[in-house]
Amino acid sequence: MVTVPGISLEGQVAVVTGARRGIGKDTALVLAAAGADVVVSDLVTEKGELDAVVAEIKAMGRKALGFKTDVRDRTQVDEMVKKTAEAFGRIDILVNNAGIGLPEGPHEPEKFEARQKEMQEHMAEWTSAKSWVSRFNEENFEKILNTNLRSIMVCTRAVSDVMIKNNRGAIVNVSSIQSFDRGGSAGSPYSISKRGINMLTESLAVDLARHNIRVNAIAPGGIVTEMMRDFTERPQMRQMLESRMLLGGKLISPEPCGHLVLFLVSDLSKYVTGQIICVDAGLNLARG
């Protein structure tokens, strides 16, 4: 007799980093809608966005906590995990979503115009530079890799200690279709950090499988977020991107990323681990 595993997360506890907006926010809400109690964290909390996510989760009848956390800081991450375990007694799901595209830090709407000007200046500098490596900035490189890649080890180490005690868990890392870049575009610290996430996902999947902990990654592309706004506000760039969105011909909201995460943490994928799955309406394929 054929059976269909459940997708309900009732009784489970999820931790989602970088969750005040975008992919992190929508993922947290999808997990809550599926029945999970959800802990959300972000580096920026003074704007009230994270509190609003907590309130929305509670309005669904789920329990929720919000933490101001720098995912690069082991002490802060350990404190978040400790308080989560004390409040809920368990952690079943971790979504490593926190990340930045620029060394300046999170993309904020009020800084959009200044970013656009800086990007134009940088493009002029890159065009006139004798080589990419001649423009190498060690500090900027380290900021992006520490935030996007090293943080996954920091958070996974802390949360896996709790998961191992329960001999179960599901971890999803947020990569990008830029992790598949080759040639010149692969030289950006963002692309390098995301390719590193893919490799780390596979390594962690092997390491933690003995404890019944699955580790996968999603690779979004063409998602409407504040980070993508730097490109989508340019008509020619937006037209180029949407022409390559094979399913629908337009950019997509962050919610489908949450749906894929839900699949990867539910019993529907109980034998899936070490995989990197694109959610991009075919954009990566169309890029060639």
**34 contacts: CB under 8 Å, gap ≥ 6:** 7, 8, 9, 262, 266
Q: What does the alpha-carbon distance between residue 71 and residue 78 come to, in Å, rounded to a whole number?
A: 10
Letter for the amino acid at 7?
I
Q: Are 125 and 202 in contact (CB under 8 A)?
A: no
Given the residues 190, 198, 244, 245, select the one marked as catalytic. 190
Cβ atoms within 10 Å of 151's Cβ, excluding its own? 24
Q: How far apart are CA 207 and CA 151, in angstroms?
A: 18
Whether residue 190 lies in the annotated active site: yes
Backbone φ and ψ for 9, nearest 5 degrees, come out as -110, 20
Residue 132: what residue type?
Answer: W
Distance CA 85, CA 75 (A): 15
Displacement of CA 75 from its chain's centroid (Å): 21
Token representation of residue 46 = 């003074």
Measured in residues, the chain has a length of 288
Strand order in the sheet with 13-16: 64-68, 37-42, 13-16, 93-96, 169-174, 213-220, 276-279
Residue 239 in tokens: 């037209």
Active site residues: 190
